[in-house]
Amino acid sequence: MTIPSALVREARQRAGLSQKELAERAGTSQPAIARIESGRGSVTLATLTRMVAAAGFELVMELSPGGVDDAVIAAYRRDVDRSLLRHNLQRSVDERLRAGAEMVTAGHELSRAVRTAAGRSGRPK
């Protein structure tokens, strides 16, 4: 059984209609309803919508995002400090670029300080 055939059958049964009654409401024949419900007839979205509406229902379709399979991404999303993100996004692009450049400079200075300290202690650099 296909999804469309199952939907038509479920709508008809929940409405308490026979195939003949649904056919009359939908403006088609009982054999057409039987073919659809058995999965032997092809059904367009328009036909499916019409059949379900004739039974007193509305066809609703939606897309939902899939789950995250990557544990690293899931952990990153969980651990992100959203207040820091909001604060950073309130800054202009120039301010963000300047702050990034300052962090790179600070990283270079830290590396230089570590090498200098390692040299003074006699440890390999």
Read off the pLDDT of residues 99-114 as tens digits, 9 standing for 90 and up.
Answer: 999 999 999 999 999 9
Q: What are 67's two structure tokens?
A: 């789950």
As a whole number of Å, the end-to-end CA separation of the chain is 71
Read off the pLDDT of residues 86-97 as tens digits, 9 standing for 90 and up.
Answer: 888 898 999 989
The fold of the 3-54 domain, in CATH, is 434 Repressor (Amino-terminal Domain) (1.10.260)
| Report field, pTM of the whole predicted structure over 0.85 | no
3-state secondary structure of 80: coil
Angle between helix axes 19-26 and 45-54 (nearest 10 degrees) is 110
Read off the pLDDT of residues 1-50 as tens digits, 9 standing for 90 and up.
Answer: 678 899 999 999 999 999 999 999 999 999 999 999 999 878 899 999 99
pLDDT at 125 over 60: no
Read off the pLDDT of residues 36-71 as tens digits, 9 standing for 90 and up.
Answer: 999 987 889 999 999 999 999 999 988 877 766 777
pLDDT value of residue 84: 78
Q: Where are the chain's structural domains?
A: 3-54, 71-121
